[in-house]
Amino acid sequence: MKLKAKIHIYSTLLACITILFVNGLTFFLVQQNAYSNAANPLRNDIQQIAAALTSVQEERDIPTILRAYIPENGAIRVVENNQLLFSIDTVDRLHNYEVAIPPSKPFIQSEWNNQTVLSVATEALIGTGQIVQIQLHQTQQELDDTLTLLMRTFLFVTIAGILLLFTSNFILGRQITAPIEKLISQMRANRQHAAYQEIDVDAEMRDETAQLSREFNAMMRQLEENYRKQEQFVSNASHELKTPLTIIESYANLLKRRGVEDPAVTQEAINAITSETDRMKKLLEQFLELARSTQPVDVDLVWMDLSPIVRQVAMQMERITERTVLLSIPEILQKQMEPSRFRQLLTLLLDNAIKYSEKDVRIEMDSSAIRIHDQGQGIPEDALPHVFDRFYRVDEARSRVAGGSGIGLALAKELAGQVNMDLTLRSEVGLGTTAILTFR
């Protein structure tokens, strides 16, 4: 069953049950209260009759007194030991009416000849010394007509309310499910056509269905962006891997043709193949690191001294690159950090600074940030917003000569976020670049 049908059926059914229960209970209470109010005058009258009969000395005077108190459309009975002594009627339909009236009940309501009859009774000691039961009966034709009209009114209101609820629930169900059906249709179309089409949403709408549509549009944009990035990643990765493979293939063919005859060519080919193989290995390692860094991970940050790690990384890079790294750091700097990722992050940024600068590199650290300065060519201002994109290179030729793959800064950006730091670059063309790691 569709959601629209469920909303329509269940809400209408619940509303109908509620209306029927409320109206039925209301009519029942009104009816009981109306008959109780109608019985009050009868109880007063029967007390007056009992008082009047106490002064009667002759039985022949009893009918005269009864006629004085008999109500309109009513009857009076005087009963002794279940024997009828006197009976006075003002309507023929009550001529043979008899009903047992328990003393514990204030009045009895019964049906007689399609009319409601209210009956009250009381015990009385009449002047002749007899103890009798006086019964007073009265038909409620006018009250029955009023209650019948009231019941019809309730019935009409109930039917009208049910019809209105049926219509309103139908409209409400359509309004609720229309955006969902539109969303389902768009999702199906996107799946069939491999598209990322969004849904039109009224900017003024603030309900949940509008929010759902906006979230769907945001998801489509993100999926499309991720798909484009994936395509770009595959394309760039293929291009990066194709270059060393082409070089390796060229030198391998050269060895086939001339390697045995010319030792110099053989040595050149071996060196080139070894170099390109090492480059491919490093490139693949960066690919794996980048893939792992983009996955959600739980990083345990602990309080530690960062200064020894900075010194160790700087010393290792000096030994590997035979370049000078100048340090301006405090003796002790306690921060919450994950040591292995912090070490990897420093290595990436320091290696990047050394690659693109022929002069000394300087590291400064204080309680607010770590700054890695190089004195290279710098980065143009229009390129700065893109330097953290995967495979982006400011200068393709210079990057390839330096051995860069274009994913080092992207990986560094991911690692910085994992260790609760912000990575930004500040650069001036001809003066150099500063990588700034700010503690959050």
Give percent above pLDDT 90 in the chain: 13
Q: Which range in 55-64, 364-373, 423-432 is most confidently predicted, on average pLDDT? A: 364-373
Please enumerate in sequence order all residues whose Cβ is within 8 A of that of 197, keeping only pairs 6 or more positions apart, or say none: 186, 189, 190, 220
> Which among 247, 274, 183 has a CA at the least distance from the CA of 220?
183
What pLDDT is attached to residue 423? 92
Averaged pLDDT for residues 109-117: 86
pLDDT at 393: 66
- pLDDT, one tens digit per residue, over 4-61 is 677 778 888 888 888 888 888 998 999 989 999 988 998 898 888 888 888 877 778 8
Range in 154-158, 292-296, 378-382 with the lowest mean pLDDT: 292-296
Q: Which of 45-49, 168-172, 178-182, 225-229 has the highest mean pLDDT?
A: 45-49
Average pLDDT over residues 424-432: 88
Average pLDDT for 394-409: 56
The pLDDT assigned to 203 comes to: 76
HEC assignment per residue over the chain: CCHHHHHHHHHHHHHHHHHHHHHHHHHHHHHHHHHHHHHHHHHHHHHHHHHHHCCCCCHHHHHHHHHHHCCCCEEEEEEECCEEEEEEECCHHHCCCCCCCCCCCCCEEEEECCEEEEEEEEEEECCCCCEEEEEEEEECHHHHHHHHHHHHHHHHHHHHHHHHHHHHHHHHHHHHHHHHHHHHHHHHHHHHHCCCCCCCCCCCCCCHHHHHHHHHHHHHHHHHHHHHHHHHHHHHHHHHHHHHHHHHHHHHHHHHHHHCCCHHHHHHHHHHHHHHHHHHHHHHHHHHHHHHHCCCCCCCCEEEECHHHHHHHHHHHHHHHCCCEEEECCCCCEEEECHHHHHHHHHHHHHHHHHCCCCCEEEEECCCEEEEECCCCCCCHHHHHHCCCCCCCCCHHHHHHHCCCCCHHHHHHHHHHHCCEEEEEEEECCCEEEEEEEEC
Q: What integer best gives the mean pLDDT of the chain?
A: 82
Position 294 confidence tier, pLDDT thresholds 50, 70, 90: low
HSE-CB at 72 with a 13 A cutoff on CA atoms is 4
Q: Is the pLDDT of residue 291 over 70?
A: no
Q: In the predicted model, is pLDDT for residue 150 greater than 70?
A: yes
Look at 287 and 187; give whichever has higher pLDDT: 187
The CATH architecture annotation of domain 208-292 reads Orthogonal Bundle (1.10)
Whether the pLDDT of residue 248 is over 70: the answer is yes
Q: What is the CATH number of domain 298-439?
A: 3.30.565.10
Mean pLDDT, residues 257-285 = 76
Per-domain residue ranges of the chain: 3-160, 208-292, 298-439
pLDDT of residue 215: 84
**pTM for this predicted structure:** 0.47
**pLDDT on residue 101:** 83
Question: 314-360, pLDDT tens digit by residue?
Answer: 988 888 788 889 999 999 999 999 888 898 889 889 988 888 888 88
Residue 108 has pLDDT above 90, yes or no: no
Predicted confidence at residue 306, as pLDDT, reads 93
Question: Which of the residue ranges 52-56, 366-370, 394-398 would you say has the lowest mean pLDDT?
Answer: 394-398
pLDDT of 296 reads: 61
**For residue 305, what pLDDT is reported?**
93
Residue 360, C-beta contacts closer than 8 angstroms, at least 6 positions apart: 323, 324, 325, 326, 375
Assigned fold of 3-160: Beta-Lactamase (3.30.450)
Q: Which residue has the higher pLDDT, 3 or 426?
A: 426
Confidence of residue 243 (pLDDT cuts 50, 70, 90): low
Overall average pLDDT of the 85-109 stretch: 82
Residues 65-80 pLDDT 10s: 888 888 888 888 888 8
Which pLDDT belongs to residue 334?
Answer: 92
Place 271 in a pLDDT band, splitting at 50, 70 and 90.
Answer: confident
Residue 394 has pLDDT above 70, yes or no: no
Q: What is the per-residue pLDDT for 402?
A: 45
